[in-house]
């Protein structure tokens, strides 16, 4: 479909502030009388606080307040504590001090005396599952916020003995599902591959540490927070603070990176507000350091797993059996392990499948969603394994993927219920990218080169669920004729807040220069929107903005009829005017807005659909009477899971002497349906690839198993990629002809699988360069490559995680 | 339709995601135990049924030994400020963005702190505070430096340029800034001021860099969003080589 705005580049309105330094992140706010907050981090990975002596601290120079865990009423479903007397990982905040200067606050923290009784701790999930293994928490060793209550599960000595050292032991799982006849599938298979594997945890490490500031005034709490989301963060943050959402003013105009780690609110964001409350509303700033960000930030869950896949002669997956042990961190965690089941069922569309999994608690920082949580680990494990099968079957690696990839539109199934996918064009993406990139020519040039290096090619694929429904959209036309698009989605840096807002302008036929995006804080009157996470913005927010704009459109037509006579059906919108179809007259949108204010009721926001979310109603209340208000809940039909799908092709040269891998050429392809913002899509495909190379080759958690302390905190240890780790140019492509029929403009999201497709392509290429060697471990770092070339043993134990 | 009154006590239903057809799982709210947010430590015997006396002792002994014998290991994480040497503030002159500013600065203060917290120029970001990420990059006499790892007293006598000082007085953007917009360089934007300053510094010394020269010159600036190809395209565009 031909659009005026969609599919075309635009300059996002916030980018100017980013290049001039005018963009304000949460630590950039200052206020008169502001004091500084520091926390006392637990020195132990698991302990019981027996006593806190902070009396002397209260008399130290500059100290204005001390906040203890007993003073905070913490929500029971918080996920993890704001302050705690029962720390479960090194660094967990126990108490907080506020002082007039940051140095005074730090001095006070140094002077606090906390008496701790150490408790047993564990950093490797399999250790906790052993019959006499320690539990990370007093109440048990297994839990997950999705489907797994806190409990103790121990595997038997036989479970471990039967497996041996190289294979994942598989005792009692916490979650199990299956579909199809697994045994029959394996019986029919020509080739069966079976591997145990490890995927390391890694910290999010957004560039902006999660600093926050707060003050109270007139009974309302004002918070500057670093969050990917705007309105979605409000109810949960209000709950942490203990107030009604309407009493919270959250400023979230910019977020210096999140990748899932700042999906919406988090307990630490509430701390300055709670301290400020104790100080009668005095402004409080909590400046978070890089080390604090590692501790209080979030991380991708590690996997220890096993998978067995049966292939037909043509490469079709006939049976897939899997088991994932997830490092759940010390809290409720995220459901990465379950996403292994979902992602493999989408990418491979197996005829029969079983998934088993267990989320095991460890005394490490809370694990949260990180870009493609579970799905990208899945891609990293599966893609080299598909290559192995292709080699054994004697078929092309691309052909094997094409035999399984969902394509052709509304085809494909997902998960245990084999529920439908709304649209899938992964197959087309593989074909189009292979042709454009020259896959067939490139594989002919693989092998040992004259320079001594080994050239190889890799292919990657990844999936993530990418869209929700049921949120609210809101627009306002003011008497000056401008369209104000109110969005609460958040600003992660993808510019999709802008790309999806353009749908409202498209529906109403607006000149983009005559629109204003209202966003970035509660005071901007934000409707209740889903947050900016889960690759969902493009699908979900195009729907809400479409709904809000369609409501405005109907009201414009009705006002046209009220002012010029006849029925709404007698009118149409054209060039920011309401025009009679018979040419008898017209009014401007500016005139219609004035009339809306005059008419009141639903036209001006004085009456609203009672089914709107409470926060949307509150937002309408802030702007009622200022123009024509279009506001509506997204009630468009949706039947199926929206899949974001991506594939990647990579050409590398591996130096067998040093283990260094150089990327020669790369092409990422994304199935996003209708492209909304080509330049923004390119930025996601390329940026996701860069982050993916870090996931595949560099980043990992390292914990000291003796003391439960982290040893990869700083950037130089966590090793995110730099300019020198990636090529200057990375190819990007959107699948041509793709459209998601369950979205009013055919669009869907992409943010996450563009990382997993890149990382898995890199791993596939490295394995291919080494004659199909299966590392079964991510990341694959240079010394591992050198060990393989030199036929030396690796420095880690099989299945060891977090301590490598 | 109901009358929309903002002052009315609003009900906020707990939001639930619409059911996804693929879902086959119930949602389990975090319990206080799993949340680790007990006001009081649990009184129950924390030794699990399967925990042997040996494992129990191992845990306690390891931790206990560490506490007594390796106390330094258990000092707080965020102890960077601890090392800061207290000293008397001295009034110094700093040339920042072409203006001479008189500021009281203690000997231990970094240039990033002075720029951000005393001069209010918050465009300069602190991403790591230890010369790893480059978010704090400013120019000292046209050379890019990490302001988080430069003492302000060391910068006396240098002409400091921050991101706020590169656009023309009438607001016209520096070619690097404009090119970063045109190439959609920034994503989250937190590293952008440092990227701008590194690029401006590069082009002052080498107005026509090759891509590889630009890549090396920019390599001290991390971008977690991975926007390197877009920033590089911006540098080359600003250099007139795009």
Query: For position B30, what pLDDT does the model report?
Result: 60
Say whether both A484 and A440 belong to one domain: no
**Distance set, CA B180 to CA A409, A622, A688, A751 (Å):** 36, 36, 19, 21
Average pLDDT on A434-438 reads 98
The count of C-alpha atoms lying within 13 angstroms of the C-alpha of A532, restricted to the half-sphere facing its C-beta, is 31
Three-state SS at B140: strand
User: Measuring CA to CA, which residue among A693, A622, A711 is closest to residue A295?
Assistant: A711
**Pairwise CB contact (< 8 Å): A728 & B212:** yes
What's the number of domains chain A is made of? 3
Residue A778, judged by CB atoms within 10 A of its CB (0-12, 13-18, 19+), counts as buried
Domain CATH code at residue A259 = 3.90.1170.50
Residues in chain B with pLDDT < 70? 1-87, 242
B-facing residues of A in 537-596 (CB < 8 A) are: none
| Domain of residue A542, residue span | 470-633
Say whether both A84 and A215 belong to one domain: yes
Is the pLDDT score of A572 beyond 80? yes
B72 touching chain A per CB within 8 A:
no
Is the pLDDT score of A478 beyond 50? yes
Beta strands A35-41 and A93-99: pairing type?
antiparallel
**Pairwise CB contact (< 8 Å): B33 & A140:** yes
The answer to whether residues A756 and A764 touch, using CB atoms and an 8 Å cutoff, is no
3-state DSSP of B158-224: CEEECHHHCCCCCCCCCHHHHHHHHCCCCCCCCCHHHHHHHHHHHHHHCCCCCHHHHHHHHCCCCCC
A83-97 pLDDT, tens digit each: 999 999 999 999 999
User: Measuring CA to CA, which residue among A308, A302, A305, A325 is closest to residue A172?
Assistant: A325
Domain CATH code at residue A588 = 3.30.365.10
User: Measuring CA to CA, which residue among A38, A56, A106 is closest to residue B83?
Assistant: A106
The average confidence (pLDDT) of chain B is 78
The Cα A289–Cα A762 span in angstroms is 32
Q: Give one word for B181, left, alpha or beta, with left for phi > 0 and alpha for psi -120 to 50.
A: alpha
- Domain B167-242 = CATH 1.10.150.120: yes
Q: Give one word for A640, left, alpha or beta, with left for phi > 0 and alpha for psi -120 to 50.
A: left
Is the Cα dihedral A604, A606, A612, A616 positive or negative? Answer: positive
**Pairwise CB contact (< 8 Å): A295 & B77:** yes
- Domain ranges in chain B are 89-165, 167-242
Partners of residue A135 in chain B, C-beta under 8 Å: 46, 48, 51
Whether residue A495 is contained in a domain is answered as yes
Selected from 1.10.10.10, 3.30.460.20, 3.30.420.10, 3.10.20.30, the CATH number assigned to the domain covering B89-165 reads 3.10.20.30
Count of CB atoms situated within 10 Å of the CB of A719: 19
Judge if the upstream peptide bond of residue A779 is cis by omega within 30 degrees of 0.
yes
The Cα B230–Cα A206 span in angstroms is 18
B132 touching chain A per CB within 8 A:
yes
**Greater model confidence, A307 or B16:** A307
The Cα A426–Cα A671 span in angstroms is 6
Average pLDDT on A674-697 reads 98
Q: What is the ipTM of this complex?
A: 0.97
DSSP string over A268-324: GGGHHHHHHHHTTT--EEEPPPHHHHHHHS-EEPPEEEEEEEEE-TTS-EEEEEEEE
Average pLDDT on A485-493 reads 96
Structure tokens at A654: 């591996």
Query: For position B20, what pLDDT does the model report?
Result: 60
Write the residue in A149, A331, A690 that is nearest to B36 by C-beta: A331
**Pairwise CB contact (< 8 Å): A41 & B163:** no
A137-174 pLDDT, tens digit each: 988 999 998 889 999 999 999 999 999 989 999 999 99
B-facing residues of A in 7-46 (CB < 8 A) are: 11-12, 14-25, 27-28, 30, 38-41, 43-44
Residue B157 Cα, gap to closest chain A Cα (Å): 24
Query: For position B34, what pLDDT does the model report?
Result: 62
Beta bridge partners of B159: B95
Count of CB atoms situated within 10 Å of the CB of B211: 16
Is the pLDDT score of A365 beyond 80? yes
Q: Which long-range contacts (CB under 8 A, 24 or more apart) does B59-63 make?
A: B59/A118, B59/A119, B59/A120, B59/A121, B59/A134, B60/A118, B60/A120, B62/A706, B62/A707, B63/A44, B63/A47, B63/A118, B63/A119, B63/A121, B63/A707
B189 touching chain A per CB within 8 A:
yes
Residue B143, judged by CB atoms within 10 A of its CB (0-12, 13-18, 19+), counts as exposed
The Cα A610–Cα A612 span in angstroms is 5
Whether residue A174 is contained in a domain is answered as no
The Cα A63–Cα A61 span in angstroms is 6
Where does a domain end: A611, A633, A655? A633
Average pLDDT on A58-78 reads 89
Average pLDDT on A447-453 reads 97
Partners of residue A622 in chain B, C-beta under 8 Å: 6
Query: For position B175, what pLDDT does the model report?
Result: 98
Mutate which: A11, A14, A17, A20, vs B, most B CBs within 10 A: A20
Say whether both A505 and A436 belong to one domain: no
- Residue A94 gets which letter from DSSP? E
Where does a domain end: A269, A297, A325? A297
The Cα A157–Cα A133 span in angstroms is 11
**Pairwise CB contact (< 8 Å): A132 & B173:** no
pTM for this entry:
0.94
Query: For position A776, what pLDDT does the model report?
Result: 96
The answer to whether residues B74 and A44 touch, using CB atoms and an 8 Å cutoff, is yes
Say whether both A616 and A601 belong to one domain: yes
Helices and strands (H, E) in chain A, number of each type: 22, 36
**Pairwise CB contact (< 8 Å): B226 & A687:** yes
Say whether both A315 and A285 belong to one domain: no
Say whether both A462 and A490 belong to one domain: no
A79 touching chain B per CB within 8 A:
yes
Query: For position B29, what pLDDT does the model report?
Result: 59
**Pairwise CB contact (< 8 Å): A624 & B4:** yes
Please state which of the ranges A31-35, A491-495, B33-37 shows the lowest mean pLDDT: B33-37
**Pairwise CB contact (< 8 Å): B54 & A608:** no
**Pairwise CB contact (< 8 Å): A70 & B39:** yes
Average pLDDT on A706-713 reads 94
Residue labelled with tokens 């400023």? A251
Average pLDDT on A644-655 reads 98
Query: For position A342, what pLDDT does the model report?
Result: 97
Say whether both A433 and A502 belong to one domain: no
Residue labelled with tokens 């353009």? A502
Where does a domain end: A609, A633, A657? A633
């Amino acid at each position: 479909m031909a659009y005026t705005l969609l599919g075309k580049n635009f300059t996002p309105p916030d980018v100017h502030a980013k290049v001039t330094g005018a963009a304000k992140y949460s630590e950039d706010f200052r206020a008169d009388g502001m004091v500084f907050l520091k926390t006392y981090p637990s020195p132990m990975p698991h302990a019981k606080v027996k006593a806190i002596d902070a009396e002397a601290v209260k008399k130290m120079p500059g100290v204005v307040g001390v906040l203890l865990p007993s003073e905070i009423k913490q929500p029971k479903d918080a996920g993890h504590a704001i302050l705690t007397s029962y720390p479960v990982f090194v660094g967990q905040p126990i108490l907080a001090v506020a002082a007039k200067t940051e140095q005074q606050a730090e001095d006070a923290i140094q002077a606090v005396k906390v008496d701790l009784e150490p408790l047993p701790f564990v950093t490797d999930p399999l250790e906790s599952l052993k019959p006499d293994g320690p539990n990370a928490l007093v109440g048990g060793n297994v839990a997950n916020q999705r489907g797994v209550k806190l409990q103790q599960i121990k595997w038997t000595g036989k479970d471990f003995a039967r497996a041996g050292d190289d294979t994942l032991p598989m005792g009692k799982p916490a979650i199990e599902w299956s579909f199809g006849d697994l045994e029959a599938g394996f019986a029919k298979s020509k080739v069966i591959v079976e591997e145990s594997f490890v995927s390391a945890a890694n910290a999010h490490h957004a560039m902006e540490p999660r600093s926050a500031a707060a003050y109270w005034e007139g009974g309302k709490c004002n918070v500057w927070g670093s969050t990917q989301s705007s309105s979605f963060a409000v109810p949960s943050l209000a709950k942490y603070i203990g107030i009604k959402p309407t009493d919270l003013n959250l400023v979230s105009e910019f977020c210096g990176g999140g990748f899932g780690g700042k999906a919406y609110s988090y307990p630490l964001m509430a701390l300055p507000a709670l301290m400020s409350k104790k100080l009668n509303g005095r402004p409080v700033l909590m400046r978070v350091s890089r080390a604090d960000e590692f501790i209080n930030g979030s991380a991708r869950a590690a996997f220890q797993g096993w998978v067995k896949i049966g292939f037909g002669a043509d490469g079709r997956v006939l049976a897939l059996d899997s088991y994932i042990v997830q490092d759940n961190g010390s809290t409720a965690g995220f459901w990465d392990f379950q996403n292994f089941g979902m992602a493999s069922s989408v990418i491979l569309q197996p005829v029969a499948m079983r998934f088993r999994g267990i989320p095991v608690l460890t005394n490490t920082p809370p694990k949260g969603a990180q870009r493609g949580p579970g799905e990208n680990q899945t891609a990293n494990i599966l893609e080299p394994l598909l290559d192995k099968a292709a080699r054994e079957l004697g078929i092309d690696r691309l052909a094997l993927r094409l035999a399984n990839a969902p394509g052709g539109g509304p085809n494909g199934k997902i998960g245990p219920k084999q529920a439908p996918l709304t649209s899938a064009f992964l197959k087309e993406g593989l074909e189009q990218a292979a042709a454009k990139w020259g896959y067939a020519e490139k594989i002919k040039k693989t092998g040992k080169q004259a320079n001594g290096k080994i050239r190889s090619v890799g292919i990657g694929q990844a999936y993530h669920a990418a869209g929700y429904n049921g949120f609210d959209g809101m627009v306002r036309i003011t008497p000056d004729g401008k369209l104000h698009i109110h969005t609460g989605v958040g600003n992660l840096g993808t510019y999709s807040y802008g790309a999806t807002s353009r749908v409202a302008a498209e529906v109403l036929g607006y000149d983009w220069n005559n629109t204003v995006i209202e966003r970035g804080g509660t005071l901007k009157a934000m409707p209740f929107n889903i947050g900016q996470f889960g690759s969902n913005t493009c699908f979900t927010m195009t729907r809400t903005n479409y709904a809000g704009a369609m409501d405005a459109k109907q009201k414009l037509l009705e006002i046209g009829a009220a002012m010029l006579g006849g029925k709404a059906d007698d009118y149409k919108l054209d060039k920011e005017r309401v025009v009679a179809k018979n040419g008898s007259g017209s009014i401007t949108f500016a005139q219609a807005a004035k009339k809306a204010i005059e008419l009141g009721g639903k036209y001006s926001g004085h009456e609203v659909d009672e089914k709107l979310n409470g926060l949307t109603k509150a937002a309408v209340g802030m702007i009622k009477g200022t123009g024509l208000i279009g506001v509506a809940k997204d009630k468009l039909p949706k039947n199926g899971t929206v899949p974001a799908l991506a594939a990647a092709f990579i050409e590398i040269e591996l130096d067998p002497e040093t283990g260094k891998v150089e990327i020669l050429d790369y092409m990422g392809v994304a199935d996003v349906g209708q492209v909304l913002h080509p330049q923004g899509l390119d930025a996601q495909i390329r940026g996701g690839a860069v982050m993916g190379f870090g996931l595949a080759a560099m980043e990992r958690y390292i914990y000291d198993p003796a003391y439960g302390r982290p040893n990869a905190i700083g950037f130089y240890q966590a090793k995110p990629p730099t300019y020198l780790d990636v090529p200057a140019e990375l190819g990007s492509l959107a699948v041509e002809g793709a459209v998601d029929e369950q979205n009013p403009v055919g669009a869907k999201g992409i943010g996450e699988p563009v990382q997993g497709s890149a990382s898995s392509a890199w791993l596939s290429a490295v394995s291919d360069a080494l004659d199909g060697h299966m590392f079964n471990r991510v990341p694959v770092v240079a010394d591992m490559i050198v060990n393989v070339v030199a036929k030396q043993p690796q420095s880690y134990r099989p299945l060891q995680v977090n301590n490598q | 339709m109901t009358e929309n009154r903002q002052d009315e006590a609003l009900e906020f239903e707990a939001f639930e995601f619409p059911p996804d057809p693929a879902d086959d799982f119930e949602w389990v709210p975090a319990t206080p135990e799993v949340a680790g947010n007990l006001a009081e430590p649990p009184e129950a015997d924390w030794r699990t049924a399967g925990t042997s006396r040996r494992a129990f002792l191992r845990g306690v002994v390891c931790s206990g030994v560490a506490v007594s014998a390796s106390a330094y290991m258990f000092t707080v994480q965020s102890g960077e400020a601890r090392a800061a040497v207290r000293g008397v503030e001295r009034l110094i002159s700093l040339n920042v963005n072409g203006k001479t500013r008189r500021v009281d600065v203690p000997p231990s203060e970094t240039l990033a702190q002075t720029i951000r917290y005393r001069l209010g120029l918050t465009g300069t970001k602190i991403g790591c505070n230890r010369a790893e990420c480059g978010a704090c990059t400013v120019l000292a006499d046209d050379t890019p430096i990490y302001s988080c790892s430069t003492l302000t007293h060391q910068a006396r006598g240098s002409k400091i340029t921050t991101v706020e000082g590169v656009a023309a007085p009438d607001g016209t953007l520096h070619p690097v800034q404009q090119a970063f917009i045109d190439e959609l360089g920034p994503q989250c934007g937190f590293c952008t001021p440092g990227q701008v300053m590194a690029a401006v510094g590069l082009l002052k010394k080498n107005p026509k860099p090759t891509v590889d020269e630009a890549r090396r010159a920019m390599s001290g600036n991390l971008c977690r969003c991975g926007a390197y190809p877009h920033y590089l395209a911006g540098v080359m565009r600003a250099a007139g080589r795009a």
